[in-house]
Chain A
Amino acid sequence: MSGRTLYDKLWDTHAVRIDDDGTTLLYIDRHLVHEVTSPQAFEGLRLSQRRPWRTAANLATADHNVPTTNRGKGIEDPVSRLQVETLDQNCADFGITEFAMHDRRQGIVHVIGPEQGATLPGMTVVCGDSHTSTHGALGALAFGIGTSEVEHVLATQCLIQKKSKNMLVSVDGAVGAGVTAKDIVLAIIGEIGTAGGTGYAIEFGGSAIRALTVEGRMTLCNMAIEAGARAGMVAVDEKTIDYVKGRPYAPTNELWEQAVGAWHQLTSDYDAQFDRVVRLDAALIQPQVTWGTSPEMVVAVDATVPDPDLVRDKVKSEGMRAALRYMGLEANTRITDIKIDKVFIGSCTNSRIEDLRAAAMIAKGRKVAANVKLALVVPGSGLVKNQAEDEGLDRIFIEAGFEWREPGCSMCLAMNADRLEPGERCASTSNRNFEGRQGQGGRTHLVSPAMAAAAAINGHFVDVREIDTQER
C-alpha cells in the first residue's frame, strides 16, 4: 500500500463516519465567522431551537463591511451597520468570542486566525468565505463553505463532505529577486487555469515553496480557490512551528510539546500518490500582472496583453475579447504602458506585515505619481497595523502620499465605502479581478505588494526588479 498525502491524513483524522459511497461526516476543529455569511445561519439555528454544539470552537470578527476611516463615527451605511450589529448580537446571544470593530485584535478573518494561533497545524478550519484556503499554509485542512454549512457547523461541529482528489503543485528551484509568493501563485493559476484545481485539494510543495515564509505560504494557499481548489495546503516544517509558538490561542508547556510531536507527522509520505502533479520551474517565474477579468488572465510584467485573434478555441477567444472590452485594453499593449488611477494594498491575500514591509521598501523616499488619485494601504488586522506603526511603515506610506487605513476587507470587494468608480483602473494586491469586484465598472489588475507600490510611484506598471531599493 502506498503512503498517504497530507490531505489524506487530515481527512482520515477528522472522519467521524464514512458511508459506503464515501460520504463522510467530517469533524471541524475551528469555525471562523464574519458578518456577511452568518446572519441567516444564526437565524436558522434560532428557528430550529438549536444551540452551537461547541461554542469555543467558533471565533468571529467583522471585516467585510467595516469602514477603514473614522471608526469613531460608527458605520454610516445603515444596511452595513445592521449586518455588523447583527453579528455582535448573535455572538453575544450564543456566547461566541468576537473581535468586534473597536477591538484592536479585529481584522480580516483570514489574517486574525493564524495571527491569534486560533488556526493550528492539523486542524480542520472552515468559514463562510472562499479564501478560508489561506489557513492551509499551516498544514491545516481549510476550506470555504456556504451559509447552510455555516449553520450545519454551528449546530453539529461537523459537515457532510465528499473527499476531493489529490493534486501536488511542486515549484522547484529558487525564484529571482523581486518575485514573491503572489507571483508564484498567479503563475500557477496562469498555468492550470481557474478551473484547473476544481475537484482537487492542492498541496503546494517543492524547494521554492519550502523557502517561502509562513506568511508567503498564506498568500499562496489563499489563492488556491482562484485555481478552483477549495483547499490548498503546505506541509508542516520548523517554520510552521516557529510561527505558531507563543500565539494567544496556541498550546503551551506539555500540551505544546505534545502538539509539536503530532504536527511533525503533517507531511505527505514519500511514496504518497497524487491524482495529478504539476511542476513549475521557480527560476522562470517573473513578477506577474493580470490583464483581464479572471485570475488566469495573467502575464509577466515584461509581456504584452495577449491577442484573442491568436487563440483557436472560440469560447476562450470570445472570453478574452469580452475581458479586453471590459478592461478598456487593446491586445498587444505592453503591460508597462498601462496607466492606473488607484492602488489598493491590502486584502486577505496581501495585508500581513511582510506585505506591508515589501511595499514600504519601494515607497520609501518616493512619491505617489500625480495621475494616481488614491493609493490605499489597509492592514489586515489591528495588530498588523500596530506592528507596522512600531516599525515606522505608516510614516513611509503617508510621506509618499498613500492613505493609511483601519483594518478590513476594504476595496478587495468594496462592500464598504472604499471602491473604484466606473472605468477606474487599479493596481491591487487582492485576489479577484472579476467584473465589478472592486466597484461596478472598475478595472482590477492583480499584483504583488511591491509591484502595487511600484505602480503607485510610477503611475503605470513597472518591473519592480528595475527599482533601486538600496541605500534608501
Chain B
Amino acid sequence: MEKFTKFNGLVAPLDRANVDTDAIIPKQFLKSIKRTGFGPNLFDAWRYLDQGEPGMDNTHRPLNPEFVLNQERFQGATILLARENFGCGSSREHAPWALADYGFRVIIATSFADIFFNNCFKNGLLPIVFDSAIVDHLFQEISATANYKLSVDLDAQTITRPNGEMLAFNVDPFRKHCLLNGLDDIGLTLQHLDAIKAYEERRKEEAPWLF
C-alpha cells in the first residue's frame, strides 16, 4: 500500500445521507476478478444517463449533467464531502477501490458504516468524521467558493481550510500508523506467528470440536 502523505485537494460535495455501496459501485461491476479499473463506474447509476454494464467503453456514455462529479468545477476532486452513514450496505471492497481508482484520497462525512470505514484504510483512503455542524459549514463554503480546496495532514491530524483555519480530526492510532507507513496488515500479523500457533494449541485442548 502507498504511504499516505500530506496533500492539498479539491473538494466535491455529495449532499446525501445514507449513500450505500450499491450506489458507490453497482453490482454488475462486482463480477470483475480484478481490483483495479472501477473508477469509471464509480456512482455509475447517478453519473451516467444510460445503464452501465461491465466491458462498456465509458468514455462515450451520456453523462448526467446534474450529478456533482460531472460538473466542470469539481473535475480533479480528491476529497469527497458527504453526510451521515456513508458507505452503508454491503462489505464490497469494490466501493473503496472505485473511490480510490477515481482519484479520491479522503472522504469527510458525519458518520460512516463500519465495514466500509474499515475497508477504506486497507486501500490508502482516509475517512474523516466531523460533526454535522462542521459538515454543514463545509457544504456552505463549497457552494460559495470556486476551487474550494482543503489541506490534509494525517500526521498532525488536521485539515486546513482555505482561510487558514485548522480543524482537528480523530483517527485510530494503529490505522494512522499503517496509513502513514503504507504497512501491509498481513505482514504485521505474521510477526505474531508464534502467538497464533500457541493460541491454536490451547484451543485444541479447550474446544477440540473446532479443529
Nearest CB on A from B169, distance (A) = 17
Residues 100-155 of B at the A interface (beta carbon under 8 Å): 111-115, 118-119, 122-123
A319 to B35, CA, bound (A): 32
Q: Is the CB of B23 within 8 A of A19?
A: no
Give every chain A residue within 8 A of B18 (Cβ-Cβ): 194-195, 294, 319
Interface pick from B3-11, B57-65, B183-191: B183-191
| In the complex, A443 has a CB within 8 A of chain B | no
Residue from B88, B92, B195 in contact with A17 in the complex, judged by beta carbons closer than 8 Å: B195
Give every chain A residue within 8 A of B118 (Cβ-Cβ): 145-146, 149
Q: Is the CB of A415 within 8 A of B90?
A: no
Residue among A36, A43, A143 with most chain B CB within 10 A: A36
| In the complex, A21 has a CB within 8 A of chain B | yes
Q: Is the CB of A414 within 8 A of B92?
A: no
Residues 61-96 of B at the A interface (beta carbon under 8 Å): 83-85, 88-93, 96
| In the complex, A278 has a CB within 8 A of chain B | no
| In the complex, A63 has a CB within 8 A of chain B | no
| In the complex, A80 has a CB within 8 A of chain B | yes
Give every chain B residue within 8 A of A123 (Cβ-Cβ): 210
Q: With contacts A83-B33, A195-B111 known, is A129 near B185, CB below 8 A?
A: no
Q: Is the CB of B111 within 8 A of A147?
A: no
Q: Is the CB of A145 within 8 A of B91?
A: yes
A-B CB contacts (within 8 Å), total count: 182
Q: Is the CB of A258 within 8 A of B208?
A: yes
Count of chain A residues with a beta carbon within 8 Å of a chain B beta carbon = 78
Nearest CB on B from A162, distance (A) = 7
Q: Mark A2-44, 1 if CB is under 8 A from B, else 0.
A: 0000000000000011010101010101000000110110010
Q: Is the CB of B115 within 8 A of A148?
A: no
Q: Is the CB of A122 within 8 A of B207?
A: yes
A427 to B151, CA, bound (A): 47
Q: Is the CB of B111 within 8 A of A415?
A: no
Give every chain A residue within 8 A of B31 (Cβ-Cβ): 36, 65, 77, 79-80, 82-83, 415
Nearest CB on A from B183, distance (A) = 11
Q: With contacts A158-B189, A194-B85, A315-B83 known, is A16 near B113, CB below 8 A?
A: no
Give every chain A residue within 8 A of B14 (Cβ-Cβ): none
* Nearest chain B residue, comparing its CB with the CB of A48: B186
Q: Is the CB of A160 within 8 A of B207?
A: no
| In the complex, A213 has a CB within 8 A of chain B | no
Q: Is the CB of A434 within 8 A of B92?
A: no
Residues 412-439 of A at the B interface (beta carbon under 8 Å): 413-415, 422, 432, 434-437
Q: Mark A96-127, 1 if CB is under 8 A from B, else 0.
A: 00000000000000000000000010110000
Q: Is the CB of B91 within 8 A of A130?
A: yes
Residue from A17, A40, A157, A434 in contact with B89 in the complex, judged by beta carbons closer than 8 Å: A434
| 10 extra interface residue pairs, beta carbon distance < 8 Å, beyond A17-B192, A155-B190 | A36-B92, A79-B55, A120-B210, A146-B92, A151-B186, A152-B185, A195-B113, A255-B208, A256-B209, A294-B88
Chain B residues with CB under 8 Å of chain A are: 16-18, 20, 22-23, 26-28, 30-35, 45, 51, 54-55, 83-85, 88-93, 96, 111-115, 118-119, 122-123, 172-174, 185-186, 188-190, 192, 195-196, 199-200, 203, 207-211
Closest 4 CB pairs of A and B: A146-B93, A251-B209, A148-B122, A39-B33
